[in-house]
Structure 1
Amino acid sequence: MRPPCRPSDTGNGGFVLVNALVIVAALAMLATLLLVRAEGGRARLQAGLEADQLTLALDAFEALALTRLARDTTPTDYPGDSWDSPAAEGATPLPLARGTVTGRISDLQGRFNINWLSDPGNQLAADTFDRLLRQLALPAQTAEAIRRFLRPGGPGNSPQERARWRRLDPPQDPVGGPVLSADQLSGIPGLPARSYDRLRPLITALPGSTRLNVNSAPPEVLAALLPHLPPAALARLITARRQQPFASVEAFLIAARLEAALADEEEADEGEEDPARLTPDHLSVSSAWFRTDSEARLERFSARRTAVLFRAASGQRPELIWQVTTRP
């Protein structure tokens, strides 16, 4: 007699094995997910720490610039002044614990203030701007486009003009008047990028009442301001300024052969002032507005910052007006 057959458990064993493999695979996927999320969190934490360190480095250069400007107690501002030292200019990177920071301080009052053009009655600014663009071999359309952008009310209400602005990305509807930064000119339709790049180092955007610092004005700006001076006379004036900055506006006007402007100032109460005539009220030998451009590098990370500073008087600590930080 044959013994009874025991049922085979091969099928159950295979089922258990499949379940075990599924559980192992699920656990492996879960472990991988946790590792990925942990690595992502670590990377975000590291990036946050790097960003904080870059910000602190940029803050450090900004503090250095504020200190240098506050320590300057001289009545004039010019290239090579105490605040314009090699370290402040960024000629040599300043070492940090894990990186470097470089930067420079720029005198904004030596540049042509485009917000002068927002005043329709400022004929001196309009004429000077036209001469500046001619020196740079820029077309007259460039000056007209910038003036339309800055005039009160904006570029115009014609359908064609408004359509040009609405085709921008994003669409714009400029209202005209003074601007916060000269960088805003880069978005003007019809203004070639090459023209803007040539003009940008010579212009700034400051309050309309700001005077031009003749001690820090570039030769191009001085040439546009002093059309009566022959090139040789202008070169001698710039050389004399480099050797000894002008101590007063009166000294500059005499050197620029503008003694008549001093006489006109004394007789200003006797008649109406010519809006196209240069007067001492348009000029200065010191500056209140400065700009810092700095860059911090930390291993493979970097950040840049532009800031505008206002110093009410020589020897006072400047005030931060605005700053923009960018990270590639």
Structure 2
Amino acid sequence: MRRKQAGIALITAVITAALVAALAAWIAWRQQLWFFQLENQLDQGQARAIAYSGVQLARFTLRDDARNNQVDHLGEPWNVPIPAIPVEQGKVGGRLLEQQGRFNLNNLISNGVASDNDIAACRRLFELAGVPPQRVDALVDWLDADGETRPGGAEDAAYLALPQPYRAANQPLTDLASLVRVQGFDAETIARLTPFVSVLPPQTPINVNFAPPEVIAAIVPELALAEAQAVVSRRAGRHFASVGEFIAALPERVRGQLRPEALTVQSRYFISEVDAQFGRVTVRYAALLERNGPDFPRLLWMRRR
């Protein structure tokens, strides 16, 4: 009997020791996991700080550029992407993307009223991009705040009938990603438009030194895409120093159809894209910058991408 009890006690002791060892291993694993999580959070905070420093560098670059010249074009130093450069325990790189060479979708509404000239140009651009031009109507309804498009208006019916209903914004877009909420703008449509459109504060002119042929053909009525491509080819060798030089490069028959106030050779809006890595963490940010002459550019928004 005593031998049997001794055997049971021995087995109990072995099981207890095994449980204690397993518990100790689990606690050590949890502590190591917590340590890794804490380390990742610290690395992420440092990576965000490095990314913000990259955006700050872009702001200084744009300010200095404005102090040195009044014409923005593809050949400027700031237009060259910065490869990843080493920093303490990490690296950072990025690029500046000029935004006024693209058609600003918020230009469709001017002071609360639909802009017929911009709507016509946007229709031409959509067609050139392979997007049905009728989609412009849905976009105008989304932006417009007149009596027909206020909450409860006719255009809200399509949005209220969705499985997760919502109303039209009736205000300017905030960024290109917000297009997905507009009827008819799916991911494929947005991808087709991305090289040609931007979302900026309303009423920004087109920088003709950055505009692709599709945008030029859209903003110049009756200008064929092939003719716009020829204009861009001329620009490759020497940028336009003024809007007048751009107009002189167009076929004579279309020059009188232009609105010079809708064109420029100087840009105010840029997106700074930054990739930053610190330790095991990599972050990617985009920031919209507004430059007002030689002043330090404003940071309008900064978000993960």
TM-score, normalised to structure 2, is 0.84
For residues 158-307 of structure 1, what are the structure 2 equivalents within 5 Å? 160-164=157-161, 166-168=162-164, 171-231=165-225, 233-256=227-250, 257=252, 278-297=258-277, 301-307=281-287
Distance 2:85 2:50 in 1: 10
2:127 corresponds to: 134
Report the CA distance between 1:154 and its aligned residue: 6.0
Could you tell me how far 1:26 is from its partner in structure 2?
4.0
Match of residue 102, structure 1, among 93, 101, 112 = 93
SS at match of 2:300: strand
What does residue 266 of structure 1 align with? none
Unpaired runs of 5+ in structure 2?
none
What residue number does 2:291 align with?
Answer: 311
- Post-superposition Cα deviations, 1:13-35, rounded to whole Å, max 9, x if no partner, equal 35643553454244224312321
Instruction: State the match for 2:73 in structure 1.
Output: 78
Shift of 1:49: 2.8
Q: Provide the rounded CA distance (Å) in 2 between the counterparts of 1:157 and 1:235.
A: 41
Deviates more, 1:105-114 or 1:208-217: 208-217
Distance across 2 between alignment mates of 1:163 and 1:209:
30
Deviation of 1:225 after TM superposition, in Å, equals: 0.8
CA contact 1:70–1:318 (8 Å) conserved in 2: yes
- Residues 145, 191 of structure 1: 8 Å contact kept: no
Deviations 1:59-98 (A, max 9, x none): 232133122212202101111213213xxx24x3323444
Displacement of 1:219: 1.5
| 2-structure distance, mates of 1:162, 1:231 | 36
Distance 1:293 1:234 in 2: 29
Cα distance in 1 for partners of 2:274, 2:255 equals 43
Instruction: Using the TM superposition, give the Cα deviation of residue 185 of structure 1 relative to its aligned residue in structure 2, in angstroms.
Output: 0.6
Secondary structure, aligned partner of 1:140: coil
Q: Secondary structure at the match of 1:103?
A: strand
Tell me, in whole angstroms, the C-alpha distance in 2 between the residues paired with 1:218 and 1:309.
21
Moved more, 109-118 or 300-309: 300-309
Aligned residues: 296
Give the 5 Å matches for 1:85-96.
Answer: 85=80, 89-90=81-82, 92-96=83-87
CA displacement, residues 185-230 of structure 1 (integer Å, 9 cap, x when unaligned): 1233433432221101211111113222122212111111113334
The corresponding residue for 2:31 is: 38
Q: Percent identity?
A: 28
Greater mean alpha carbon deviation, residues 20-29 or residues 196-205: 20-29
Give me the whole-angstrom Cα distance separating, in 2, the residues matched to 1:259 and 1:76: 24
Q: Corresponding residue for 1:271?
A: none
